[in-house]
Amino acid sequence: MDRLTPRQADILALARQHGRVDVDGLALHFTVTPQTIRKDLNELCDRRLLNRMHGGATYPSGVANYGYEARRMLAADGKRRIGLKAADLIPDHASIIINIGTTTEQVAMALRRHEGIMAVTNNINAANILREVQSAEVVIAGGLVRHSDGGVVGEAAVDFIRQFRVDYAIIGASAIDADGTLLDFDFREVKVAQAIIETARETILVADAMKFSRKAPVRIGHLEQIDVFVTDEPPPPEITEICLAAGVRLEIAAETSAEQSVA
């Protein structure tokens, strides 16, 4: 059997890390045509290294779900603090849109204490968290459900989101470049995130400090489009400068004195 090409090995590593990969995102990442990526995916699927799905491929044997659970554990305390801080910025009886992500789910957890929240989401996990709140109204987008994380993506989800005009949007990002560019891995997810930003009167970005050192291929937008950025540690100086110049409110969800004494 022929060995994998370097690009195929990288595709396999990305699929193992994130649970799934899509043709458009990989084409952008490797600066090749979608046809080239489809050929790579077909070869990887023929070898049973990946499972083919519409628009991309998934990592087999349940590893995709494990990957999402593993991401929940990464910076778990920081994400919890971010969720609490972001929820404190949102008043009772507000309308919100919550995007896909383990950090946005922590915001949903913290919002369970609020009264009269109307939550629109393309995140099945966030919907399940908030549906337990009797005073909350939960509206979920239609579209393709990703097996890896319960996110709803695709044009149907984008069209659905664009029907709304909400008070707050809660979005995440897989990576934040030093120039303030917000990035993700799934082209379809990015389209939904962009629609969410356009739909909200105020956009709150929630992202832990690990995102400053990560890379991702697909552009969501820029920090300048954000109103409030909630993170768990002071960001690099260049990010702080961008926030100051653009009038982005920077909120640091730092450990409390009690938490620090326990650590």
Strand blocks (E) in the chain: 20-22, 51-53, 56-58, 95-98, 118-121, 137-140, 144-145, 152-153, 166-171, 175-176, 181-184, 200-206, 218-222, 228-231, 249-252
Model pTM?
0.72
Residue 205 has pLDDT above 50, yes or no: yes
Domain identity same for 113 and 234: yes
Q: Tally the domains of the chain.
A: 2
Domain identity same for 86 and 180: yes
CATH of the domain at 18: 1.10.10.10
Domain identity same for 161 and 35: no
Instruction: Tell me the C-alpha distance between 156 and 152, whole Å.
Output: 9
From the list 118, 175, 124, the residue with the least C-alpha distance to 153 is 124
- Residue 168 forms part of a structural domain: yes
Domain identity same for 49 and 81: no
CATH of the domain at 133: 3.40.50.1360
pLDDT tens, residue by residue, 70-93: 555 556 788 999 999 999 999 999
Domain identity same for 123 and 194: yes
From the list 136, 88, 92, 127, the residue with the least C-alpha distance to 110 is 88
- Domain span holding position 27: 6-61
- The residue assigned the tokens 């491929």 is 57
The H or E element that residue 81 is part of is helix 76-88
Residue 49 pLDDT: 85
Domain identity same for 32 and 144: no
Residue 71 pLDDT: 59
